[in-house]
Amino acid sequence: MNSSLISITWVQLLIALGLVSISGVLSIYYKLKLEKDLAVGVLRSFVQLLTMGYLLKILFGLNSALLVLALYLVMTFFSVHIIHGRVKEKNVSYLMPTGLAVMFSYSLVTILVTKVVIGAEPWWNPQYFIPIGGMIAGNSMNSLALSLERFFSELRNRRDEVEMLLCHGADYKEATADIFRDALRAGMIPAINSLMGVGLVFLPGMMTGQILAGADPEEAVRYQIVVMFMLVASTALSSIIVLLLVRKRCFSSAMNLLTGGGAGA
């Protein structure tokens, strides 16, 4: 198989930008008012990805564990920040539980995959640790936001039911058991759906990237299988941890439900 990689020039990147402009034209024509967000998203993707590319090039050269872990912490920090911005709940403090769930689950799965499954030496090898950690953070971030949003919205919608169960002697775990399961399921469904469709409906980014770079398709498939399994694991682990930590915070010491009918950042 030809292992040469076709380089993409800046001119070709600008041509690719023309594909995005189609969405902008449609937004303007149908008055969707998305063109501003689209422009900001395009600009941010350019800046963020190019910055990450240069940082990785530096990291590969320096081979420093401290710098690799520092970059990883920055990635997880922004993951928590984005989750906090997407979930609208003002009466319950969920930032700290989200941060703990993210740090524990992301780090555990990333280290297990790089050290045990792939066998990278050292385990913090930036060529493996940063891309794998980034994939885990990106996918689990969406699942965490879905789980939290579903949990808080269900608590608000079913407030009377929860309070009735509390009045009849149920503790907060019993009163929210169904809501807890629904929220956990909401967070895990996207990852499970990806398992169902991978290879048949779509070719994932990591596998496609390796093939475009000239890797053996069989080797690319094995890496992609590892990626799919690790995403399911990190999604389940991070979602259940954050829900377990947040659920108790939704109730006062007197077992009064704190979350109300309003929502906020």
Which tens digits make up the pLDDT trace of 225-234?
A: 898 899 999 9
Contacts of 129 (CB under 8 A, 6+ apart): 68, 72, 110, 114, 120, 123
- Is 133:75 a contact under the CB 8 Å cutoff? yes
* 3-state helix/strand/coil string of 25-39: HHHHHCCCCCHHHHH
The pLDDT value recorded for residue 3 is 54
DSSP 257: B
What is the Cα 235 distance to its own chain's centre?
Answer: 8
| Residue 93 neighbours by CB distance under 10 Å | 13
Pair of tokens at residue 234 = 């990190």
The percent of residues in the chain predicted with pLDDT above 70, rounded, is 95
The pLDDT value recorded for residue 260 is 59
Of 246, 239, 244, give the one whose Cα is nearest residue 89.
Answer: 246
Cα angle 116, 200, 225 (rounded to 5 degrees) comes to: 0
263 pLDDT band, cuts 50/70/90, is: very low
Of 202, 66, 68, 46, give the one whose Cα is nearest residue 127.
Answer: 68
Mean confidence (pLDDT) of the chain: 88
196 pLDDT band, cuts 50/70/90, is: confident
Q: Give the integer Cα–Cα distance in Å for 241 and 106.
A: 12
Q: Which helix (H) or strand (E) holds 214?
A: none
Using CB atoms within 10 Å of the CB of residue 246, give its burial: 0 to 12 exposed, 13 to 18 middle, 19+ buried.
buried
Q: At what angle do helices 205-212 and 217-249 cross, to 10 degrees?
A: 150
pTM score, whole prediction: 0.80
Q: Give the integer Cα–Cα distance in Å for 145 and 152.
A: 11
